[in-house]
A and B are shown apart, each in its own frame.
Chain A
Amino acid sequence: MAGEGDSDDALAARAAAGERAAFACLLARHYDRLFRLAWRWTGRRATAEDVAQDVCVKLATAIRGFRGEASFATWATRIAYTTACDHLKAASRVHLLAPADMSSLVEASGETPEQEMQGSELWDQVRALAPQQRDAVLLVYGEDMSHAEAAAVMGCTEKTVSWHLHEARKRLKVSLAATG
């Protein structure tokens, strides 16, 4: 297959030039990471799959404009991040059932709600944070980014990220203590 051993950025450059196989390879390489990111934000597998698919389509349409100014991974992360946030924003107008309830309704396949919600308490608390605090926590702790990288993705300064994290920690301390 084309470019199995090539670096992401080399593949991305070829994909930007229109090489189909290179793009397919890139996607296959990154899909799982993008999906996990989507999951961290949305907390539901079905939703995360939808978001991940949106991200893939966005990447496909935008790859031609990819100029290699950032690494492909960062670029894709940023797109995934904005897509997930957009999705949450759109969904926030609607109060969904708690994921566990939802999945018990229609998700006959897959894991039980308990399995799906591993460590759910912490996730719940993190997702209940204000959007920017949540994003900062998920990017820095979930995606293992540096503050600077997170700042680039979130489109703010490094200091702001640190501040959001600080706030988030303060809040989490309280909320986690409350739930034991």
Chain B
Amino acid sequence: MTEDKLQHLKGLAAPPARAEARERALAAAMAAFDAAASDADLAARGSAAAVEVSPIVGLPPTPNPSPRGGGESAAEKISATTPKDASGADRLKLTNNPIVRRPRMQLTRFQYGMAASIAALVVAAPIAMHVMRDAQPRPLAPEGWSPPAEAPRGAASKPRGLDETVAKPASPASVATAPTSSGVPATHDTQRIAGRDAPTIEALRREAAQKQAADAQRREDSKAKAEAGAKPTADVGAVVKTEADKDAKVGNRLPHAAERAAELEATTARKGNRKTEAGGETPQGTVRLDSGRGQEPTAVASPSVTVAAAPPPPAAASPSVAVAPPSAMAPAKPAVPPRAQFMGGAAPSSAAPSRNLVVPDQSGAASRSRHVGEAKIADGHPVGDVLAGQAGGKLHSAPHDQRTATYMPPRPEPAPHQVEENRDQFQGAPDNPVKQVAQEPVSTFSIDVDTASYSFARRALNGGRLPPKDAVRVEEMINYFPYDYTGPETADVPFQPNISVFPAPWNSAHQLVHIGLKGYELKSTERPRANIVLLIDTSGSMAPEDRLPLLKNAFRMLVDELKPDDTVSIVTYAGDTRVALEPTRVADKGRILSAIASLNAGGGTYGEGGIKKAYELAEASFDAKGVNRIVLGTDGDFNIGITNRDELKGYIERKRDKGIYLSIVGVGRGNYNDATMQALAQNGNGAAAYVDTLSEAHKVLVDEASSTLFPIAKDVKIQVEFNPAVVSEYRLIGYETRLLKREDFNNDKVDAGDVGSGHTVTAIYEVTPVTAPPSVDPLRYGGTAASEPQRRVGADTGPREAVAAGELGFFKLRYKLPKEDTSRLLTLAIGPQQTKATIAEAPAEARFSAAVAAFGQLLRGAPYLGSFGYDDVTALAQGARGEDRFGYRAEFLNLVRLAKSAAR
């Protein structure tokens, strides 16, 4: 029986490709062919045919390509479209190299545009019908839908009231189908409808709008109003999912759906407010003007319909995007229960109906709601309070009451149908706000050498998606890159600060204070012995190629880097904990490698005592003079014996104090538990790295093996005090999760980040000189922000002011040497000698890190960059690539390009 059915498979007709699609594909291919031809050595070939660039019309007629085309031949089709081909080719903007996706993307956008225009017509028509029925006694509805007998007269005339973008795509199709008798049925229908109703649509809409306004007034029901406002923007971007359809998994990230929805949304938005009003609610409430639902009225009627937010590809963040008007905060109140309203709450606030304004809100909400739905992390909390709490009060939240509060994503609502697809967890923290020097002249934070965020973002971008905003930590992106800063000479003072001040690339009135630290690079003879325990997750989820197999290769490379008298042991955890390798000296490399090779994924994760076992082994071969480190490789299942995160952290902390450090290598996607990894590595004096490719593994475990494994300083904290006579405002870019209290700086009990051999750490402040207009208006009453500096200059007569004159600020660094418990201090004044007048004069390393900072902020949707976009990032980074020995910076440039197209 199965065999019969399968034999039947070939007989099942595939639907024919649309003629336009065929045309496009052939045109694109011919363009590619031509491009290849121009690349080839034409002279050598000497073939006139190859050189000749004939127009696309020159495609040969084909034998009946469409199984359902009836008598109509392809030649007819092609000739029918001939007049359009020139403009069509123009529209395609085929570049010389069509392999780049540009032509295709434009094509698909064209397709979306077309879908949108049709959607608009299909949706507008019923409303028009309805209003007409109300306005005139003549019943119109059923007849109105039956196609008129004669050829569509409206095919040539564009319906009024549709803007250019919509009308344009519609016309080629109408030309293509009009002369033939069969054509694509639905297009035909729509055209007819368009033709018939076009003259009246405008009037009808207006009527509908008026009627709607009257209705709304009558009811005075604010809830209804909110809903009406919400519809066209929020719902169009939403994807309708029927509960009954269990197979339909609404991915939170649906490039296809989202793009299309966004396109529809854009069209709707362009139509302006009129439509917004008209679309709210038709008297019967069955047909609504939101394109998404309008096409499936049954879905609207059905009570089982849920609406899940589909994040459209978040647009490039610009202030206008991220700065949500005050009304956008309304939905943050928990009092607004239904999701549609919550989504919509932000929508009416889009004074200018631009797609950009809506998009970030939605995507923010969507990504956040995903996290909250996990219920594992308390993402809804506005600031890093959560983190601070969990980190035992050691990490500090930004004082969020002082935030300029320009951007506040709406408080998420748990979606009723949680999507299983993406269970990666990130703990978000809002961007550091602009601070007034007069009020808070001192900024303190712990350094961060983690790089996980960059790798994760890269993985998302390579997949054609923007990373979730919370996954982007600007400082980690900046610190991903090795910088060629001047390093210290000896290990006694393990740091050399490199500070430069130059105009901010995105705001010439502001300056960037760029602080680059270079850690001392241990020479290999000085390298202490290493005692390394690999704690490897071998649960079933580790089976995919990018997890355990990747880790195995990575650890193999690591073992190659170690010296013969280093020690390696391996503990695995899955269904149970297993010691795969007792502590073994690297001299016996064969045994280690075969132990690694024998690892297999399978089983659950009940690894009771996995981590304890690892610490036991580390203690067994503890080397008081060497480095003792556990390297945990996992895809995020931290069910390693101690499941309570705080308990686990406490455990790791205690072991850290005994001298055993923990580093984490994260792999895989879908289950990645970023928050836990961060917290654990931070508490274990180690770095959390996310490894998505073998080359990344190589970077983490080989190129940077010594910095990953051998610390040169621990608890490194930075404090910068700004001079209010010179600087009125400052903002620390990144380090949101690493802020410390001012008094913690001198408290050696407070844990902070660690720096490995040769690590570079970069921190960037954006400062507003007093000469530039501040972003916050001076207060009218009392101790004003603006007048305070002057007052203090006048009041303080001490030598301090004299010293500080001209100084922009004062940099302080506290660190402990690896085996010491008291911290040492390093200071440096930031003065005119470090200030550069133009960006070009700034060191290349500083410029590149500024570009990375800008990129990170763009990905986060931070509202501080003005019109600075991905192209500007590229330009800035391009000029500062430096030596780029490992090609990291070239890769960065590529990522910026990917982000740009993903953001579209």
| A positions within 8 Å CB-CB of B | 1-2, 4, 15, 17-21, 23-25, 27-29, 31-32, 35-36, 39-40, 45-50, 52-54, 56-57, 59-61, 63-64, 90, 93-98, 101-102, 104-111, 115-116, 118-119, 122-123, 126, 137-138, 141-144, 169, 172-173, 176
A-facing residues in B18-76 (Cβ within 8 Å): 18, 21-22, 24-26, 28-37, 40, 45, 47, 49-50, 52-54, 58-63, 65-67, 74
CB distance from A148 to the nearest CB of B (A): 18
Select which of B26, B54, B248, B296 is within 8 A of A56 by beta carbon.
B26
Pick the interface stretch among B103-111, B226-234, B605-613, B803-811: B103-111
Q: B7 near A90 (CB under 8 angstroms)?
A: no
Q: A105 near B239 (CB under 8 angstroms)?
A: yes
Q: B108 near A20 (CB under 8 angstroms)?
A: no
- The residue on B at minimum CB distance from A19 is B49
Q: B184 contacts which chain A residues (CB < 8 A)? A: 109-110
**Quick one: CB contact mask for B1-18 with A, threshold 8 Å, 1 for yes?**
111011111101111111
A96-B254 in contact given A108-B118, A109-B190 (Cβ < 8 Å): yes
Interface size on B, residues (CB 8 A): 93
Pick the interface stretch among B150-158, B256-264, B772-780, B878-886: B256-264
Q: A35 contacts which chain B residues (CB < 8 A)? A: 14, 16-17, 21-22
Whether a CB of chain A sits under 8 angstroms from the CB of B897 is no
Select which of A1, A53, A105 is within 8 A of B107 by beta carbon.
A53
- The residue on B at minimum CB distance from A98 is B248
Q: A52 near B25 (CB under 8 angstroms)?
A: yes
Q: B421 near A94 (CB under 8 angstroms)?
A: yes
Q: B61 contacts which chain A residues (CB < 8 A)? A: 1, 28
Q: A98-B247, A108-B190 are in contact. List 8 more A-B contacts (CB 8 A).
A: A15-B33, A28-B62, A48-B14, A56-B29, A57-B99, A122-B12, A169-B3, A172-B2
10 contacts between A and B (CB under 8 A): A23-B33, A24-B26, A49-B18, A60-B30, A61-B35, A105-B239, A105-B240, A106-B119, A119-B12, A142-B10
Q: B31 contacts which chain A residues (CB < 8 A)? A: 60
Whether a CB of chain A sits under 8 angstroms from the CB of B112 is yes
A36 CA / B66 CA spacing, docked (Å): 11
A56 CA / B15 CA spacing, docked (Å): 19
Q: B255 near A32 (CB under 8 angstroms)?
A: no
CB distance from A29 to the nearest CB of B (A): 6
Whether a CB of chain A sits under 8 angstroms from the CB of B275 is no
Q: A142 contacts which chain B residues (CB < 8 A)? A: 9-10
**Quick one: CB contact mask for B105-143 with A, threshold 8 Å, 1 for yes?**
001100110110011001000000000000000000000
Q: A144 near B10 (CB under 8 angstroms)?
A: yes
Q: A54 contacts which chain B residues (CB < 8 A)? A: 104
Q: B245 contacts which chain A residues (CB < 8 A)? A: 98, 101
- The residue on B at minimum CB distance from A56 is B29
Select which of A97, A107, A108 is within 8 A of B254 by beta carbon.
A97
Select which of A29, A46, A63, A95 is within 8 A of B249 by beta carbon.
A95
Whether a CB of chain A sits under 8 angstroms from the CB of B714 is no
A-facing residues in B252-305 (Cβ within 8 Å): 253-257, 260-261, 264, 292, 295-296, 299
A63-B33 in contact given A97-B241, A108-B118, A123-B12 (Cβ < 8 Å): yes
Select which of B21, B33, B239 is within 8 A of A52 by beta carbon.
B21
Select which of A19, A23, A53, A169 is within 8 A of B47 by beta carbon.
A19
CB distance from B33 to the nearest CB of A (A): 4
A24-B58 in contact given A94-B251, A96-B254, A101-B241 (Cβ < 8 Å): yes
**Highest count of chain B CB atoms <10 Å: which of A4, A20, A105, A116:** A105
- The residue on B at minimum CB distance from A175 is B2
Q: B256 near A108 (CB under 8 angstroms)?
A: no
Q: B1 contacts which chain A residues (CB < 8 A)? A: 173, 176
Q: B464 contacts which chain A residues (CB < 8 A)? A: 90
- The residue on A at minimum CB distance from B25 is A53
Select which of B49, B50, B257 is within 8 A of A97 by beta carbon.
B257
Q: A105 near B295 (CB under 8 angstroms)?
A: yes
A93 CA / B465 CA spacing, docked (Å): 11
Select which of A27, A32, A60, A122 is within 8 A of B36 by beta carbon.
A60
CB distance from A165 to the nearest CB of B (A): 9
Q: A109 near B118 (CB under 8 angstroms)?
A: yes
